[in-house]
Structure 1
């Protein structure tokens, strides 16, 4: 029997497109929060819920809170067309298993579904409250928000820790502090964009959330020993 996914979104066209893209699964639909609760009441076999942040009768975050009380083991992915830091933090604080922005990247979404199902099968519970899992969650948060201005306080808020305590255990577990970890991600991502795309350096700097080209160039050179343009030229020669 195929795994069952509930898509909760008031956009009927989006729901139809979702069903077409993920035809290998059994897809159930709900256009409101109440409809979603009705579906879940009738069926105990839903594996994953894709939940939009804005619904006609409630918000996705409020519905998520209810689902965590009534269906604590249910995998929930928040759908957002906004991608703001606050929405992401609210979703993950509410113990969403993940979030994804619209329009959907189909391959990325398929991989997300596969990973959640495998994790659920192996452990019986996607969410683990120990320190290692919280650190992994923060690392994932930083990776997914490489282009946004997230900081230690945002990360601490996400896992209900004090910034001071998180700073200590993050360095203990990862080997570097949170700001260094974020910077490493940005440098790695900038190298990938310089190597694999034809985007201008100004565009890359903007995409990665740098204030201006000068700031990007200065930081890139400090950590790589070369400027972005020099790095791109050296790659093209190879």
Structure 2
């Protein structure tokens, strides 16, 4: 959509530093990507987490959580920048539900910088694919797909092409917010379809928040079934 593309371009354009103020405290000092240096230090780092689903782990020697050991998810890895807690959770909600695109741009730019070392060390990613939204929800409810705008910023910073048409949401599933992981997984059965040729490509799947991981698992499974060689998930935040 031309309007969405223009919105993405506006979102990826950095704010003029002379007019920028911190979104959290309002100061104009040391502001980078919309947040001042002291407030950046207060963002809740995710810390040590499961390689496959990004769930925070208590023991630093562990690489996988118990759920991923018992039932490995289809994606090869999942990486999130922050824990879904204050103030990241509030900024994400402002972005998604109040159309605060400055908050979304800020989180995406900071996450792109923080996750860049991981991108450089991981197997080369061929394309970035945002988690799609069903067209009815995107058009009539939210008006935009937050994952696509995040992917646009990641792609620009990491120099990886973004291919939104590689995955489509073909079934309008019920709201996921109050569902358990098993209920979410059942809710998402057959809800995704691939729309472009992704044979033998390493796909970077982009979303805003990993909650139970069910959405990312369903999307990754569809991409792998269509011939992707590997799927890695990248998100702004992970719920504990």
TM-score by length of 1: 0.29
TM-score by length of 2: 0.28
Whose helix proportion is higher, 1 or 2?
A: 1
Whose strand proportion is higher, 1 or 2?
A: 2
Q: Which has the higher contact order (CA 8 A, sep 6+)?
A: 2
Q: If you compute each CA radius of gyration, which structure gives the higher value, 1 or 2?
A: 1
